[in-house]
Chain A
Amino acid sequence: MREYIIGRVMQGFATIVVVSMIVFLLTRISGDPTDLMMSPQATEEERQIFRRLQGFDQPLWQQYVTFVTNAMRGDLGKSIRWGEPVVSLVWQRFPNTLQLALTAFLIALLVGLPVGALSALRPNGFFDSFGKIFALLGQSIPSFWLGIMLILLLSVHFGLLPTSGRGGGLFTPNGWKYMIMPALCLSTFSMAAITRLTRSGMLDVLDSEYIKMVRLKGASETMLVWKHAMKNAMIPVLTVASLQLVGLLNGSVVIESVFGWPGIGSLAVQAIFGRDYTVVQFVALMTSVMFITTNLVVDILYAYIDPRIRYGRTD
């Protein structure tokens, strides 16, 4: 088990290194990023100054080394537009996105798990048909279009909810009104995925010999389902569910645009259109590292839950 953890951590670390290289190269693909980052009106002189300031005249490998060493010190550059350090800029907006993503994740779980489980327990019943259609739609409807439609319906037509903005966040009395639609739209894809996975996981488990054995020992259906079936079925769902959370952070880019939600997604979009690539670089890097770390944590948790990994095999 110890070897397993160490192995996974090393893998994660290696992946982060590769990610840093990719992110680093993103802005340098078509050569010198100076032209990318400066407005077309900038003079050649201004460009030269900028170039030297940012170190773009140095050989690529040297730039990368500077990039990494600075990053380890916590310095990931300054926003070209706002002059502030990128890290603090992004960090300000991060909680907003996190709130949104967590809410969406919660919705996805609270709906997906029971629907998926019920779907499997009563195959071909009402919940099963409902669950299947539900999951299908969730994966087919583009979330940002759903957002626009919801705004059309609930804000414009019925005037129930505000069209955009954040309005104080979840902890204010009105805050949730701003949160519902974006969180709901963000959650649809994950909800569908979790429903499907729970359903198929449960179906597999319910078919297994050990569940038959539990039944033969005289268990009641509730005991059987909740103690044995759920725990076994949860393992694959857990892995995917946690990845969904980080995926939500990524998907929020479009949703935040639709709803004017002040998070890192909309920050990234603004930054790109404003040629502020240091900001984007950091957002990309940060999201990736979070993803890899979550993945790692989940794998390790997995090892604790599944005793086959924890204690290794004897046969």
Chain B
Amino acid sequence: MPDPLLEVRDLRTYFFTRYGVGKAVDGVSFVVNEAETLGLVGESGCGKTVTAMSIVRTIPRPAAKIIGGEVLFEGSDLLKLSDSEMRDVRGKQIGVILQDPMLSLDPLFTIGNQVAEPLQWHMQMSGSGLDRRVVDLLREVKIAAPEIRVGEYPHQASGGMRQRMVGAMAIACTPKLLIADEPTTALDVTIQAQYLDLLTELKTTHRLAMILITHDLGVVARVCDRVAVMYGGRIVETAPVKEIYAAPAHPYTQALIGSVPKMDQRTDELYAIEGQPPDVRNLPPGCTFSPRCPFAMDICRQEFPPEVAVASGHTVKCWLHQDGKHGS
């Protein structure tokens, strides 16, 4: 088995505010292999975005700080790189797509200008070679009439098109890893599917590894190979995508999947998980999910469960599975 492309080990990113320390990412570990799409799933505020920003080291200092862990990308620890070395990684080896395409593009510069930037900075391209590459990139993300679009401004394009342009910017230097933070959340429902198909296609063509951050399980089912479920700043379950739908082990995952109404079921009430997401400044002792867990036992409230494997490639952190069997 070849080495994973990205290995995050025990990452901790804390926010230091006047009201206390917010443990946004508290011991997160996962692995992304080459050409594999990992879905990072969880409610708002569980730490998914902070994890991604920690990987590329764009967390807002001095309020936040990565205080521990390792981020091994192709073997070297990104957290140990100097600022200029890190800048080399960003945009060139790791590309990022953010949530809202209207806000991610500078309104004062043309599309062409903005897509060209990573090519200029990282590949020192210029002149007509640069122009051609920009047009090719736009064509690759399925933007019609790219030669005209390069001279246009972001506000002249529709939401779906803008997000494709952001995609073009992200893959411009043929990175090995793409991080997409809720890429379809701000798009119309009708366009979401198209965009996800585009991402899948890019992944296949370029052998792109991807971390897809989302709270939408439908997106996960469509695009991801593996899934990591996050809660309260920690990963609580990791599994291949089919496994997680077939046999979710952690009560939180079960609840997430159960809360999505299924087409062929008839229910009288929509199921919603009781309670509120935890305040990361004031995490409960023991398992962070215990206050809301229908199966919580005494030990759950005292100690955080260790990671155990319940099947091949499927791990979970839950006291219910302490013996390594499926339980419920």
Contact = CB atoms under 8 A, between A and B. Distances in A.
Direct contact of A and B (CB under 8 A): yes
Interface of A: 208-210, 212-220, 223, 228, 231-232, 305-308, 311, 313-315
Interface in B126-173: 153, 155-159, 166, 169
Contacts of B92: 218
Contacts of A305: 108
Interface of B: 56, 58, 84, 87-92, 96, 98, 100, 103-109, 117-118, 121-122, 153, 155-159, 166, 169
Contact of A217 (B91, B109, B158): B91
Contacts of B100: 209
A228 B114 CA distance: 10
B106 A216 contact: no
B151 to A, nearest CB: 11
Contact of A218 (B104, B106, B122, B157): B122
22 contacts: A208-B103, A209-B103, A210-B103, A210-B107, A212-B58, A213-B98, A213-B106, A213-B166, A216-B98, A217-B90, A217-B117, A217-B118, A218-B87, A218-B88, A220-B87, A220-B121, A232-B107, A305-B108, A307-B155, A308-B153, A311-B156, A314-B158
A216 to B, nearest CB: 4
Nearest to B169: A217
A213 B105 contact: yes
A218 B118 contact: yes
Contact of B105 (A210, A216, A219, A223): A210
Given A209-B103, A232-B106, A215 B155 contact: no
Contacts of B84: 220
Given A209-B98, A216-B90, A216-B96, A315 B155 contact: yes
Contacts of B169: 213, 217
A69 B155 CA distance: 47
Given A215-B90, A216-B56, 12 more contacts: A210-B106, A212-B58, A212-B98, A213-B105, A216-B91, A218-B91, A218-B92, A220-B87, A220-B121, A311-B155, A314-B157, A315-B159
B52 to A, nearest CB: 10
Contacts of B87: 218-220
Nearest to A219: B121
Contacts of A220: 84, 87, 121
A314 B106 contact: no
A238 to B, nearest CB: 13
Contacts of A213: 96, 98, 104-106, 166, 169
Contact of A228 (B106, B155, B166): B106
Contacts of B166: 213
A315 to B, nearest CB: 7
B56 A308 contact: no
Give the 6 A-B CB pairs with smallest separation, nearest first. A218-B91, A209-B103, A217-B91, A218-B90, A307-B153, A213-B104
Contacts of B91: 216-219
Contacts of A308: 107, 153, 155
A210 B104 contact: yes
Contacts of A314: 155-158
Contacts of B96: 213, 216
A267 B88 CA distance: 63
B56 A214 contact: no
Contacts of B104: 209-210, 212-213
A190 to B, nearest CB: 25
A215 B58 contact: yes
B108 A306 contact: yes
B121 A218 contact: yes
A315 B159 CA distance: 9
Contacts of A311: 153, 155-156
Contacts of A306: 107-108
Interface hub of A208, A307, A314 (most chain B Cβ within 10 A)? A307
Contacts of B88: 218
A228 B113 CA distance: 12
Nearest to A228: B106
B82 to A, nearest CB: 13
A214 B118 CA distance: 9
